[in-house]
Structure 1
């Protein structure tokens, strides 16, 4: 096998693992119950309007794609994990939204150059392992003058800290893979997009999460539904001491983040970076 073929096979295997990770658990219910409004925030920031061609990259079950369609966009919801589309189709039907669902790798999008007026991603493309390849694809498929919009968890925010908490228990990442929360760092995203974009606007915001009454409830919810958390627990399943340690660490994270300290049960604020830019040229 040549080095090129070996690299292709390694990438195919990595993407298969990513697809399997997001297919387990129940991410659609988590997105609907915990962060239901984030997609609409991104769609509004991008100014999606009737008649625009819109691509949602890493769309999952359509948290941003469905609001974009309801705003009048001609929307393609793309994701590496088509197992998430069933819940998205049902939600779209219930809301009267019409859009197309298509399996796609964010690092090798199956769309022509400059084909979309708006290319957006709500906590989606940030999980592609090779950041520059994914950013290059976002720019490539956006028309000159079109909008690129990204909403990503920050490294220092609650979800970024959750990934840092899980990292010591997870298998080492493959060579070249980068941590997802880096997409929540403005400097990192500006470097990825470079001079191919103009009019960059970036703002840190928070999403208030009131779903969890106790730190233990937060931990158990993510252990049951969130693919990355499930994957880490599976990797240490044969070591009860490490499982117990991760259980404690996630409870400590939830407590430190404010779970259970509010009279209503929760005071979680999850920080994200909202960034929009225009494709140059």
Structure 2
């Protein structure tokens, strides 16, 4: 799904600032070994590498890794790019000082499995950090809007935006972490001039939206209804100042792995 469309355009044109936000929160820098889980095209991994950290970017989708390599070369960032499943990471126990994920791990279907793996690969006392879309925020509500039109999820899959609920993430990590800091923040998005422009961009670039439209492609009435619903969503989340910008809520959560 994530190879559909042009997710790197979303990462670079819409949500680019999220990666550096996460890197700063995790205090990545020289002397730290960092794993970016479900790294996509490297929104956070490249930012971490530019701090001087030793970085591995891991993702399930080879096409995104290839784009990430190109972006890293353009930015002058040196890091490793490796294919890996967030629910079964190909790394040893305690191999990293920092494990982080920027709106990535949330899309692994089995949340406990991916949280367990994230914890496993971090050394005792190391840092875990995630940026995830909240259920009540714009992207969480976009998935809620698409749900009636989308194919049923596979058995056992959990909704991605639950990773944006701090209590859900605390429960996933349990007593295996300390010093949990959770903060809801807003990303101001000024990329789109209208709700319809947002909708059409996501129809062309964002894998989950593309997959949803493909599922209903032979039903023009449902396609038209989803078109209306997504444009209405964009209108509801427009900035209060009338500028045409949008405010997208996300959760920034960091923790320390217990010794």
TM-score grouping bracket, smaller chain normalisation:
over 0.9
Unaligned runs of 5+ in 2: none
1:133 is aligned to 2:98: no
Residue pair 2:192, 2:245 contacting (<8 A) in 1 also: no
Instruction: Work out the CA distance in 2 between the residues paired with 1:259 and 1:242.
Output: 28
Structure with greater helix percent:
1
Pick which of 235-244 and 83-92 moved more: 83-92
- Distance in 2 (CA, whole Å) between partners of 1:273 and 1:120 is 13
Aligned to 1:159: 139
| Structure 1 residue aligned with 2:63 | 83
In structure 2, what is the equivalent of residue 271 of structure 1? 249
**SS of the counterpart of 1:143?**
strand
Of 249, 259, 263, the match for 2:229? 249
Q: Does 1:29 align with 2:9?
A: yes
What is the CA–CA distance in structure 2 between the aligned matches of 1:100 and 1:84, rounded to whole Å?
A: 13
Match of 1:239 among 219, 225, 228: 219
Alpha-carbon spacing, 1:202–1:76, altered in 2? closer, same or farther (3 Å): same
State the alpha-carbon separation in 2 of the partners of residues 168 and 114 from structure 1: 41
Preserved contact between residue 212 and residue 259 of structure 1 (Cα < 8 Å):
no
SS in 1 for 2:153: coil
Partners of 1:113 and 1:122 in 2: CA distance: 22
Size of the alignment, in residue pairs?
259
Structure 1 length-normalised TM: 0.90
Q: Secondary structure at the match of 1:22?
A: coil
RMSD of Structure 2 on Structure 1 (CA): 1.1
Q: Deviations over 1:129-161 (max 9, x none)?
A: 000000000000000000000000000000000
SS in 2 for 1:23: coil
Return the offset for 1:259. 7.1
Alignment of 1:1-281 (within 5 A): 21-258=1-238, 262-263=242-243, 266-281=244-259
- Offset from partner CA, 1:205-238 (integer Å, 9 cap, x none): 0110001111110100000000000000000001
Distance 2:241 2:194 in 1: 8
- Report if the CA contact (8 A) 2:96-2:126 is conserved: yes
Matches of 2:55 and 2:256 in 1, distance apart? 19
Gaps of 5+ in 1: 1-20
Q: CA deviation at 1:262?
A: 2.9
Task: Tell me if structure 2 keeps the 8 A contact 1:212–1:260.
Answer: no
- Given that 1:59 and 1:124 are in contact with CA atoms closer than 8 Å, whether structure 2 keeps it comes out as yes
> Which aligned segments of 4 or more residues in structure 1 are displaced greater than 4 angstroms?
none
Alpha-carbon offset, residue 88 of structure 1:
1.1
SS at match of 1:276: strand
Provide the TM-score with structure 2 as the length reference: 0.98
8 Å Cα contact 1:53-1:117 kept in structure 2: yes
